[in-house]
Chains A and B, each alone.
Chain A
Amino acid sequence: MNQAALQLEEQYAQKFAKAKKAHRTKSLLKGLLFLLPSIILFSVFLFYPLFKTIYLSFFLTDSSGATTVYVGLNNYINIFTSPLFVKSFQVTFLFVLYTVPGTILVSLFLAILANEKLKGIGIFRTIFSSTMGISVAAASVFWMFLFHPSIGWLNQILAVFGIDAIGWLTDPNSALISVAISTIWMNTGFTFLILLGGLQSIDSYLYESADIDGASYFYKLRRITIPMLSPTLFFVITVSFISAFQTFGQVDMLTRGGPQNETNVIVYSIYQDAFMNYQHGVASAQAVVLFVIILILTLIQFKLGEKKVHYQ
């Protein structure tokens, strides 16, 4: 029997191998066909530009962006030594420092409030998430008025309390904070929505069993809600970091990087160097630095996000 089977197998082996190979080739082609549109677009608008950016960062360019002189690492040395660029990095990091904790705390507060099962809670959830639907341009216009030195609401409110008017966007000391405040407002909607989703996926049995044990509201918040929410929280923190580093629109609308470059965040700086001053090389070097920062943040997220620790 074994002998016969072996013979048969040999006889058929070739046929099977051929069919298998044909099938494999067919599935490979099919797979590629489904992925091809995405692969082509990623190549053209993502991978190619990435390498081109790195390439450009070693050159000086003319006004059309064509390379002229190879300068090696000079562009990098330049951006890490010239006070203007150093300022831009400082501003960016400060901006991130203001907006990330601000956004998370405000959104978390709102999400915890909106997670209560109360009548009419749907309306509040909609309102809290509404800033997600408001574009950077429109939001900037709203806040530009609020920050207006004489007729803006913020100074009017301060006046009620007898506090002197602040030059929110014009005073170098407050400009960055003002932009940060408006940014926190803009980002709240999205962050709130994600956090609310995270809260709603926590098993209600956990709360019920805590209720039976007679746990207080804040005890439950501290021992159940926050630990169970930690994966979501971690996700929104990294997303907030990344989007803070990518800030552009509100700076362009509210301050144009001023006053005295106090709000000249990195993307705005890239924009100015590349498209106002036509220095694609220097701008590319900054873009590479931005890429590295985001790369590191994303890697941290993947690395830690995988574990989905509950930090308890």
Chain B
Amino acid sequence: MTIPTHQKVIFYLLLIVSAFVIFAPALIAFSMSFMLGQDVMSGKILPPSFTLDNYVTVFERVPLLRFLLNSFIISIVIMIGQLVLSSLAAYAFVFLKFKGRDVLFFIFIATMMVPFEASIIPNFQTIRDLGWINSYIGLTLPFFALAFGTFLLRQAFKQIPKELKEASEVAGMGDFKFFLTVVLPMARTSLVTLGVYGFLTSWNMYLWPLLATTTETTRTVQIGLRQLQTQEQLNEWGVIMAGAIIVVLPTLILLFLGQKKLQKGLAEGALK
């Protein structure tokens, strides 16, 4: 398919304008994070001067390093938890035959109908009663089991020819070993996709960390940003923007690296 030149020009024009509009809020924030306070307040668009003061200040205002570390720990723990639980469950649904499997699968589907927000009150009570407020375990454990992840990996595992399983049965290889040495390596791509997805969503989690942290020791970077915003209110925009840029940088980099895989994987897990 070749596209006529005049059509190409129109496409590029539309693409560039759209790209600018979509990226503008982030670009403006990026540019502001290098501006002096008075330049921001006078409504300047491009930074007349360049300063890193905002970045220095934001680390003084809130324990941002601590928050970043917390967010990293929490996101990685949730990611690993989701990968382990989802792949185990997906394996059972694809390769194991046992009574009640269909019922259990239906239960997994049913979990998708329960929004986390609707069950947040008892969950908060549970975590509180277990003394898990302000703990990593309280911030991560509720998110390990993931129906979406199970479905995504189930789709990937289904692509593996059943003869491979049968060959391993004839050869006398046990299920757990087959799972580790054949299924997981073969579903690498989908595992990466789910991992990226899990990290992204955990890093960006908002409501639960807001409830489950009351001190700064385990507070995540998102709630740190909220704290910063409440403290600063209107005055030091440059500092807030510097904080926001730091918050989005890890996920943006991850997204840029994994965009193609994510696009494929999400569509597969969601639609098939």
Contact = CB atoms under 8 A, between A and B. Distances in A.
Question: Do chains A and B directly touch (beta carbons under 8 Å) in the complex?
Answer: yes
B121 A143 contact: no
A142 B121 contact: no
Interface in A28-66: 28, 30-32, 34-35, 37-39, 41-42, 44-50, 52-53, 56, 65
Contact of B203 (A135, A249, A291): A135
A16 interface: no
Given A30-B175, A34-B88, A127-B19, A141 B240 contact: yes
Given A130-B23, A133-B200, A151-B40, A270 B117 contact: yes
Contact of A116 (B11, B28, B251): B11
Contact of A132 (B96, B125, B255): B255
B132 to A, nearest CB: 12
B122 A48 contact: yes
Interface string B123-136: 11110000000000
A138 B247 contact: yes
A201 interface: yes
Interface stretch (A3-11, A171-179, A188-196): A188-196
A37 B85 contact: yes
A131 interface: yes
A28 B115 contact: no
Contacts of B114: 46-47, 50, 291, 294-295
A151 B41 contact: yes
Contacts of A87: none
Interface stretch (A77-85, A96-104, A203-211): A203-211
B117 A45 contact: no
A144 B111 CA distance: 35
B227 to A, nearest CB: 10
B210 A113 contact: no
Interface stretch (B46-54, B97-105, B158-166): B97-105
A134 B15 contact: no
B169 to A, nearest CB: 12
A298 B104 CA distance: 18
A94 interface: no
A44 B92 contact: no
A59 to B, nearest CB: 12
A139 interface: yes
Contacts of A52: 119, 121-122, 125
Nearest to B179: A34
A143 B25 contact: yes
* Chain B contact residues: helix, strand, loop or mixed: helix
B91 interface: yes
Interface string A139-171: 111111110101101001000000000000000
B187 interface: no
Contacts of A188: 22
A5 B243 CA distance: 81
B134 to A, nearest CB: 15
A127 to B, nearest CB: 5
- Most chain B CB atoms below 10 A, which of A34, A48, A139: A34
Nearest to A159: B43
Nearest to A41: B145
Given A129-B263, A197-B267, A134 B96 contact: no
Nearest to B210: A252
Given A45-B126, A137-B247, A248 B121 contact: no
A270 B112 CA distance: 20
A188 B8 CA distance: 24
Contact of B122 (A53, A118, A127, A253): A53
A117 interface: yes
B113 interface: yes
A291 B118 contact: yes
A294 B108 contact: no
B32 A145 contact: yes
A270 B120 contact: yes
A38 B85 contact: yes
B204 interface: yes
Contact of B113 (A28, A185, A299): A299
B10 to A, nearest CB: 10
A127 B1 contact: no
B217 to A, nearest CB: 19
- Most chain A CB atoms below 10 A, which of B85, B141, B210: B85
15 contacts: A28-B100, A32-B98, A34-B92, A38-B88, A38-B108, A44-B142, A45-B123, A46-B119, A110-B18, A133-B255, A138-B225, A194-B267, A208-B1, A291-B118, A294-B118
Given A194-B263, A275-B124, 5 more contacts: A124-B15, A130-B256, A143-B25, A249-B206, A249-B207
